[in-house]
Amino acid sequence: MSSLNQELPEIFTQLAFFRAQDIYHPYMDWQALVRDFYPDSLLELTRSQSDITASFYGQMLKQAGELFGVQRMQELSRRTFYQIGKGMAQRHVARKPQLERNARGITTLLLAAIYTSSPEYRFEILQFDAGHARIRITGTDRYHRITHALGIDQHLQWPAFDGFFIGLRDELGLAELYSIRSQLNHLDEHSCCDYEIDIRAT
């Protein structure tokens, strides 16, 4: 793979570092494989990764429901999101140790999560004070989309990522100082969502 054909997707060239150690059989037409199966753009790659993430979430919950009962789905979802929130907060705080420990800091981590992991969401910051922040989130809820397709969305509370925000807050050491509430304004069968997150000092 020392030479790159110009007909290959531009994103393949840009991300060639990740494929630099791949070894194909001499009889394989690796360029044809890349053209046929590699994402054509960053947008397609991002959507594909997002779909895989959502699929893993949905299938995990479906299997848990079949094994342990559908009443366990909500708690498993909440705990999973909580741990993901804590882990993401740890990574970002390691990079930005000066991050504010207040409602603004929690909001900042939420935006970082959207930037890096949730491209389908759009946000509007309605309030951004140290003691009180409000964020509106709209777009497509990929977690609702997959669970709706699997027929298990009725066993979950929406927005399902409540636990994620709690994990962000707790990792900042603010568990006793700030409350977080999520409000469902709209969620339809196409997974178009409108949520509002309220973060305030207690």
- pLDDT for res 43: 85
Q: What is the pLDDT, as a whole number, of residue 2?
A: 43
pLDDT for position 6: 54
Q: For 42-201, which CATH superfamily applies?
A: Trafficking protein particle complex subunit 3 (3.30.1380.20)
CA gap 139, 166 in Å, rounded:
22
Outline where DSSP puts E strands in the chain. Answer: 121-128, 132-140, 178-187, 192-201
User: Which pLDDT does position 117 carry in this prediction?
Assistant: 87
Q: What pLDDT is stored for residue 3 in this prediction?
A: 47
CB atoms within 10 A of CB 13: 11
The domain segmentation of the chain, as residue ranges, is 42-201
Q: What is the pLDDT of residue 5?
A: 46
CA separation for the pair 192, 196 (Å, rounded): 14
* Distance linking the first and last C-alpha atoms of the chain: 58
Give the pTM.
0.86
Predicted confidence pLDDT, tens digits, the chain (202 residues):
444 445 888 889 888 889 889 999 999 999 999 999 998 888 888 888 888 999 999 999 999 999 999 999 999 999 999 999 999 999 999 999 999 999 999 999 999 999 988 889 999 999 999 999 999 999 999 999 999 999 999 999 999 999 999 999 999 999 999 999 999 999 999 999 999 999 999 9
Q: Which helix (H) or strand (E) holds 63?
A: helix 42-68
pLDDT score recorded for residue 98 = 96
